[in-house]
Amino acid sequence: MLRTPGGYWDPVIWLLAFVVAILIVYIIRAFGRSDYKGGEQTKPFLSGMEVPNEDALHVKAGNIYWGFMRALEGYYDVLRRGHTGIINDYVAWFVGISAILFVVFLILGVI
């Protein structure tokens, strides 16, 4: 048990509460119709327009941030050159920067 200013946190009680909530949801769901297979009411409402195919509904990630990416294109071009996709390069950068920070902290007397 963990005592905090707002009360206490007991993982066993939270686990029991979660199990009880799942049981309540399962009981409510059991009252539903088992013969229901879908129909017109499962389609999205588009003000009477026909639903387009799935490819037309999919919003690509490039479209979401298009203006942001276009505005910072010069910055991202520089970053893309540094990212080769080879894990050895990333590990080398990590080790190199860690070594530099170690030396700086050693000189400053932090370590």
The pLDDT value recorded for residue 58 is 77
**Looking at the predicted structure, is the pLDDT value of residue 25 above 90?**
yes
Three-class SS of residue 58?
A: coil
The pLDDT value recorded for residue 87 is 92
Alpha-carbon span 48 to 80, nearest angstrom: 45
Q: What is the CA radius of gyration of the chain?
A: 28
pLDDT, tens only, 48-67:
788 778 777 777 777 888 88
10-16 average pLDDT score: 84
Mean pLDDT computed over every residue of the chain: 84
